[in-house]
């Protein structure tokens, strides 16, 4: 599933998009959003440019952004993120056994 339009001929895409997900209240505690930016090549392998994760199981602005969105439902909360070279790690406590992962790039 892909949410953003392709930006041809660039390795520095800029997206100004608003996303809306319908999640049950029960799933909000464990929901995680992982966004991947992929360089699609006609010849050769596609390459990961970078990715970012948002949710309660991350830290820093990724965590803060998630709770700002929860505190203000249906209100746009604008943030800019730097992409990371690897897929973000989800911080889990031993009491957490599973997470519903909403992945913006199920390719």
Structure tokens at 26: 């029960």
Q: How far apart are CA 65 and CA 69, in angstroms?
A: 6
51 or 87, higher pLDDT:
51
Structural domain boundaries in the chain: 28-103
Res. 101: pLDDT tops 50: no
12 or 3, higher pLDDT:
12
54, with CB counted inside 10 A (0-12, 13-18, 19+), is: buried
Confidence of residue 104 (pLDDT cuts 50, 70, 90): very low
Convert the pLDDT of each residue in 26-54 to its tens digit.
888 788 888 888 888 888 888 888 898 98
Convert the pLDDT of each residue in 66-86 to its tens digit.
889 889 888 888 888 888 888
């Amino acid at each position: 599933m892909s949410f953003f339009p392709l930006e041809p001929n660039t390795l520095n895409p800029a997206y100004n998009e608003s996303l809306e997900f319908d999640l049950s209240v029960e799933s909000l505690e464990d929901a995680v959003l992982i966004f991947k930016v992929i360089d699609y090549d006609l010849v050769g392998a596609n390459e990961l440019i970078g990715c970012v994760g948002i949710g309660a199981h991350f830290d820093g602005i990724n965590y803060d952004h998630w709770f700002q969105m929860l505190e203000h439902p249906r209100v746009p909360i604008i943030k800019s993120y730097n992409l990371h070279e690897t897929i973000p790690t989800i911080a889990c406590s031993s009491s957490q056994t599973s997470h519903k992962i909403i992945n913006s790039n199920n390719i």
